[in-house]
């Protein structure tokens, strides 16, 4: 009898630890912002065109290669497959390898870019794949539309390293770029931060850290389909599983796990509580942040991560903006100019950044 009581007590303690300490209170639903310009929807009337279907076919082949590499514990093969995203593209930008305060990186500089105007870009890839090479389409485009030199960092990846190492590399590169450009030490005049998916997570986490530590804030921030909640409480993780061809192969198993197991999985792999704002920017203080643009597809699993972040930021008084596209795949912006909607997304990014600097 005493043994049963102790077992019950132990189970109750473990459950309470997970529910209230690891997972935390979560985030409530925030209302749609009253400002009509805060949320914009695109491509509502038309189905994705033939170019999108061709890209989907290529993405399926790539995800099969990445999945095969991870399944056979060959992360190097998975990373090499992901790095082929930019193969065959003729980039006009100059690419210069650099040591950004101890973080491997590369400068991407479009013709005519002002090296005192800079972008810190943080690539996606689920914290386990991705590199400056895989995201050169995006960094080249960022330099082109902003006239800035883009610093694309090769932060340490999991599982060889911990999530805190990814975070620390972003912070180190941020401190470095404030005082250094492609031509050496120099004052920074215009400054943006951008990132996608897992890199969007690191971008938004970094932005809050900058505010909390009194550093020079970026003039504006761009997050493409960011992961903002590693308690995985967003409804779209389940609702959009069948329409997200890029993330489904990697997140469908996670969806089958109960929240209790997910929390312990994150705690073990991240060495952080899932509710810690460093890992889940959505769950932190979103007041007094710089102008932030979040783009996401309405068909992807991270839709609610993006939507709830913007709604909460707006409710906290920060000038955040949400733009959504119907039927697009995760990070469709990387398929510019093949997909017309990717071209449209970059037009909107350019417009947002120009407005942020002039306001």
271-321 pLDDT, tens digit per residue, is 888 889 999 999 999 999 999 999 999 999 999 999 999 999 999 999 999
**In DSSP terms, which residues pair with 41 in a beta bridge?**
324
Average pLDDT over residues 205-219: 97
What average pLDDT does this structure show over 121-150? 97
State the pLDDT at residue 359. 44
67 classed as catalytic: no
Q: Out of 18, 106, 298, 300, which one is annotated catalytic?
A: 300
Q: What is the reported pLDDT for 301?
A: 97
Active-site option among 131, 134, 197, 318: 197
pTM for the model:
0.93
DSSP state of 21: I
How far is the C-alpha of 101 from the C-alpha of 173, rounded, in Å?
6
3-class SS at 94?
strand
Q: Considering the candidates 52, 117, 330, 341, report the single residue annotated as catalytic.
A: 330
CATH numbers and ranges of domains, the chain: 92-358 (3.40.50.1820)
Listed range (12-16, 49-53, 140-144) with the worst mean pLDDT? 12-16
Which residue is listed with tokens 């400068």?
107
Token look-up 């697009």 returns 328
**Two tokens, residue 227:** 């992961």
* 61: pLDDT strictly greater than 90: no
Bridge partner residues of 107 (DSSP): 96, 151
- Residue % of the chain over a pLDDT of 90: 66
pLDDT in tens, 222-265: 999 999 999 999 999 999 999 998 898 888 888 888 887 888 78
* Across 76-90, 103-117, 168-182, least confident range: 76-90
Closest by alpha carbon to 86, among 336, 322, 340, 283?
336
Cα–Cα distance measured from residue 69 to residue 48, given in angstroms and rounded to the nearest whole number: 30
The rounded mean pLDDT for the chain is: 89
Mean pLDDT on 16-38: 70
Per the annotation, the verdict on 341 as an active-site residue is no
135-170 burial, b at 16+ Cβ within 10 Å, e below that, comes to bbbbbbbbbbbbebbbbbbbbbbbeeebbebbbbbb
Per-residue pLDDT at 87 exceeds 50: yes
From its phi and psi, is residue 317 left (phi > 0), alpha (psi between -120 and 50) or beta? Answer: left
- Nearest-angstrom CA–CA distance, 326 and 345: 12
Query: What's the pLDDT score for residue 207?
Result: 98
Q: Residue 1: its pLDDT value, please?
A: 66
Q: Which two tokens stand for residue 22?
A: 């690891």
> Which pLDDT belongs to residue 129?
94
pLDDT (tens digit, 9 = 90+) per residue, 328-354?
Answer: 999 999 999 999 999 999 999 999 999
Peptide bond into 185 cis (omega under 30): no
CA neighbor of 325 nearest in space, from 285, 292, 294: 294
Residue 184: strand pairing partners? 181
pLDDT reading at 13 higher than 80: no
Active site residue 93: no
Pairing between strand 148-153 and 180-181?
unpaired
């Amino acid at each position: 009898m005493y043994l049963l009581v102790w077992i019950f007590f132990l189970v109750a303690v473990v459950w309470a630890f997970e529910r209230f300490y690891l997972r935390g209170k979560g985030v409530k639903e925030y209302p749609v912002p009253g400002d009509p310009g805060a949320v914009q929807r695109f491509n509502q009337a038309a189905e994705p065109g033939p170019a999108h279907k061709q890209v989907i076919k290529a993405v399926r082949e790539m995800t099969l290669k990445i999945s095969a590499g991870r399944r056979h514990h060959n992360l190097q093969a998975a990373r090499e497959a992901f790095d082929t995203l930019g193969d065959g593209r003729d980039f006009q930008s100059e690419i210069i390898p650099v040591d950004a305060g101890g973080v491997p990186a590369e400068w991407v500089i479009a013709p005519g870019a002002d090296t005192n105007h800079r972008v810190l870009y943080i690539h996606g890839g689920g914290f386990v794949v991705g590199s400056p090479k895989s995201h050169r389409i995006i960094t080249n485009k960022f330099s082109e539309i902003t006239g800035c030199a883009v610093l694309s960092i090769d932060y340490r990846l999991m599982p060889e390293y911990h999530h805190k190492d990814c975070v620390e590399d972003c912070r180190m590169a941020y401190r470095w770029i404030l005082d250094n450009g492609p031509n050496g030490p120099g004052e920074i005049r215009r400054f943006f931060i951008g990132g996608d998916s897992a890199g969007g997570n690191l971008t938004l986490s970094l932005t809050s850290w900058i505010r909390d530590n009194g550093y020079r804030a970026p003039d504006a921030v761009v997050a493409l389909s960011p992961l903002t909640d590693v308690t995985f409480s967003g409804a779209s993780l389940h609702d959009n599983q069948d329409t997200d061809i890029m993330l489904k192969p990697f997140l469908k198993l996670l969806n089958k796990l109960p929240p209790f197991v997910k929390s312990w999985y994150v705690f073990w792999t991240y060495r952080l509580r899932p509710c810690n704002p460093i890992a889940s920017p959505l769950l932190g203080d979103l007041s007094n942040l710089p102008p932030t643009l979040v783009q996401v597809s309405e068909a992807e699993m991270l839709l609610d991560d993006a939507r709830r972040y913007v709604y909460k930021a707006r409710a906290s008084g920060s000038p955040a903006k949400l733009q959504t596209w119907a039927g697009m795949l995760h990070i469709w912006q990387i398929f510019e100019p093949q997909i017309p909607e990717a071209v449209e997304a970059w037009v909107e990014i350019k417009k947002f950044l120009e407005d942020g600097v002039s306001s």
